Structure 1
């Protein structure tokens, strides 16, 4: 059983006013330090200051404009047209038409950018100081905290690419030489330069590889290191290293690398991503939860990386509630759309699938995904927003096997389907296109309320997808959200 970290929750409640952004710049990535906030030289004068800074990054990622809402289950799944359309004006209604520049949409689009770069600035400040103050840190703390920070820097930059950058790199080799989002590695007021996608991915992979090397040495989740009993006693203050799936960890960093390599798209990169996926499947503590063994709707035993969102219920329980006909902000699927998604016309597929019969619930206005709804969740699984789960690694491996070992691809997809309660396997005689279609169905079913489907479509260059109007083409105008206007006007950015 996962152990709840007392330290973690104490930090989540107290650090919001402690972790600081220490300088100013014209775009607001770095905010001026009020007198009530802690100067950098004080913040990083003790090991505790580094722990607090790291926790502050997770708190920053957990904002509604970050992974508590817009960058995950809410906006990204609306762009994937998983939810029924709004019938009344809401702040998000223009996203239904992929209008990213309206007076309603623009603050939301800009808010995601700002929260990402603010978090990156805090990460860079901590990384600068962890080298300056290395002598005050226990080597275990140094390796793990620095490893987490580096992987988080790569994680956030990668999601900036997934939202504001281009996709379908395997089909568009000309993108390699285009300018990508700024990859910020230095804390300060100077604007980070825009580099090509090739150079940007090189920086990202360097961060990930360094993080993996550091975390392999000392991350408690990596048991192959075989540290002696009591190894972590001197640093595991108040359970700081308990429940590693609520933090970036060794296997999460590996999974991130597999995601990035898949996005780059070249066959050789996908082979490496597949091999990484197999390593994680074989060795990570996360495992597929079966319909019979499921005890929590968020499926936390499958998490490789998740966030603890304090006050998550204030966001989810209002929106994931279609029992009131006048809740115009409600997030739900039309019943007919849910039946199509989960293939309920075949009882051995849809009706048997606990993603349909347990993780969605029929209410007055339609069928509601309840994975993230906090009402009724047990204490251990409350407030969790999954960011990487083990099924994705099966899908990454299967995607490569479709081209190299079709039987293996079918096997991997059937493993997940069987865990979900589906009684009918994908036929061993299926052709390549059929298996590709089944993989897409799995992404649509599995990641409802997690925000991964839009990125799947974008990565592979789908020109249309379910729910998209027949006269609309899914191209860059749809997939690439615009940079903030001041980045173009004052920063000279090129998108």
Structure 2
């Protein structure tokens, strides 16, 4: 981690300034002066805080690799046959050049962002009084949740298969801004630290405007300042942190805790007028389809380069050996040849241009109305996942089927029969629901599935085990341990 310190210093203030110095001795005093200047105003504090979200939206993190690119390739979501370098990830050839570079970039950006969050937390306490304690608690709660989320995804990616080896060494945990490497911790200890951070975050977010019953009035919260009270769905708000906690608890095998937390989130949506299921006509609108089901998203990440990535990865003009797309037979299997599924109809189409005879991915395509609030948003935590968790953790299978049927109804699907195999149906929904969102590979790893469908072949499976599921730590981390 010491290797990244100098980069972190710059990244922390990247949204504020461009500074050039020849060596560390020059950087330190200037950086300290700049930090004091930054934290002397509320605007400066907000700018640094917002910079954390800009880092989350970087290509190496949720702006690409952890949502629609690398982890989706690992989950066999696309046909990666051919000689393109990215295809080696689909074969889990982690030791080869392109996979190693991709993996290293993910790791480095995740931990520089973690340390940026830690630096923000340290600095906002050091400069207390610039903003009210109520506002500071909101920003600190979000920063701690960001730190926990990144550690969790690094654990899911680089850690052991938790179901069978929770005591195996996994990743370091950084809950303070330090300049030395922390040791690798057992996976169960990392989970404990993540959950502790999430509980701290929830305490700090106790007065989150998102919790006000009904459609909250920004004029009555946080002095009407829109930075704190508006667009809470684009922030790691209280409910998003609850969703993350449910996800972590389920990962760790605590089904009782996961069920309780997911059901708390579901209960909130039943008594409020927001975070509701997206209606069919909104999801499938001909001109402005809400393909990401924005009303259901407790946290969506704003990415102002999203449509560039849609073009770079999924555009129908791309050559067959460049485009990220599944084989049509595989896609038909995923959706059971049901184009009435809300997730199929607007997001998977045979394009008018580009000469493609297969369906291509349109989830992140821009819409005609540029004022739509769901533009430029990548889903991170969703109502649908809470129903899937509630279904998986239900004490009685019939209750699990009931949760799943509510979810299916809101995706245009018929109810399952009483004899449906719950685990099988949940797997089907993970394959449909999270395409382009980076959750399927982690789902397979969590349940320790022995095989997964081979995305680069019309039939057959890929055998999975520790060599496939456990992404090796980058050389840069191993060499500094």
For Structure 1 versus Structure 2, the TM-score category normalised by the shorter chain is 0.7 to 0.9
The equivalent position to 2:362 in structure 1, one of 366, 370, 374, is 370
Q: Which moved more, 1:145-154 or 1:270-279?
A: 270-279
The equivalent position to 2:252 in structure 1, one of 231, 241, 264, is 264
Aligned to 1:71: 66
Cα distance per residue 1:74-116 (max 9 Å; x no partner): 2211111111224342x41211211112111111100000110
**Unpaired segments of 5 or more residues in structure 2?**
1-12, 284-288
Aligned to 1:390: 383
Q: Which moved more, 1:303-312 or 1:129-138?
A: 129-138
Aligned to 2:145: 151
Is the 8 Å Cα contact of residues 327 and 358 (structure 2) preserved in structure 1? yes
Aligned to 1:435: 422
2:168 pairs with 1:178: yes
2:43 pairs with 1:54: no
Q: Quickly say closer, same or farther: Cα 1:208–1:471, change in 2 above 3 A.
A: closer
Aligned to 2:220: 231
Aligned to 1:18: 16
Cα distance per residue 1:340-378 (max 9 Å; x no partner): 11111xxxxx13212122221124052212111236474
Is the 8 Å Cα contact of residues 317 and 374 (structure 1) preserved in structure 2? no
Residue 223 of structure 1, CA deviation: 0.7
RMSD between superposed Cα atoms in Å: 3.0
Aligned to 1:252: 240
Residue 49 of structure 1, CA deviation: 2.2
Residue 235 of structure 1, CA deviation: 5.7
Residue 157 of structure 1, CA deviation: 0.7
Residue 163 of structure 1, CA deviation: 1.1
Residue 24 of structure 1, CA deviation: 13
- Give distance in 1, aligned partners of 2:369 and 2:150: 28
Aligned to 1:296: 290
- Give distance in 1, aligned partners of 2:322 and 2:56: 23
Q: Quickly say closer, same or farther: Cα 1:20–1:259, change in 2 above 3 A.
A: farther
- Give distance in 1, aligned partners of 2:156 and 2:358: 30
- Give distance in 2, aligned partners of 1:276 and 1:459: 23
Aligned to 2:476: 486
Is the 8 Å Cα contact of residues 160 and 187 (structure 2) preserved in structure 1? no
- Give distance in 1, aligned partners of 2:345 and 2:33: 50
2:434 pairs with 1:456: no
Following superposition of structure 1 onto structure 2, how do residues 217-366 of structure 1 map, counting pairs within 5 Å? 217=207, 219-224=208-213, 230-232=219-221, 234=223, 236-237=225-226, 239-282=227-270, 285-294=274-283, 295-324=289-318, 326=319, 328-344=321-337, 350-363=338-351, 364=356, 366=358
The equivalent position to 1:115 in structure 2, one of 109, 116, 122, is 109
- Give distance in 2, aligned partners of 1:34 and 1:334: 56
Q: Quickly say closer, same or farther: Cα 1:318–1:34, change in 2 above 3 A.
A: farther
- Give distance in 2, aligned partners of 1:103 and 1:20: 32
User: How many residues are matched?
Assistant: 454
Q: Quickly say closer, same or farther: Cα 1:365–1:43, change in 2 above 3 A.
A: farther
- Give distance in 1, aligned partners of 2:324 and 2:218: 48
Q: Which moved more, 1:311-320 or 1:56-65?
A: 311-320
- Give distance in 2, aligned partners of 1:472 and 1:216: 45
SS of residue in 1 equivalent to 2:343: helix
SS of residue in 1 equivalent to 2:206: helix
SS of residue in 1 equivalent to 2:63: coil
Is the 8 Å Cα contact of residues 15 and 51 (structure 2) preserved in structure 1? no
- Give distance in 1, aligned partners of 2:160 and 2:20: 32
- Give distance in 2, aligned partners of 1:275 and 1:23: 52
Is the 8 Å Cα contact of residues 313 and 375 (structure 1) preserved in structure 2? no
Cα distance per residue 1:131-158 (max 9 Å; x no partner): 2222222122112101101111101111
**Unpaired segments of 5 or more residues in structure 1?**
1-14, 27-31, 345-349
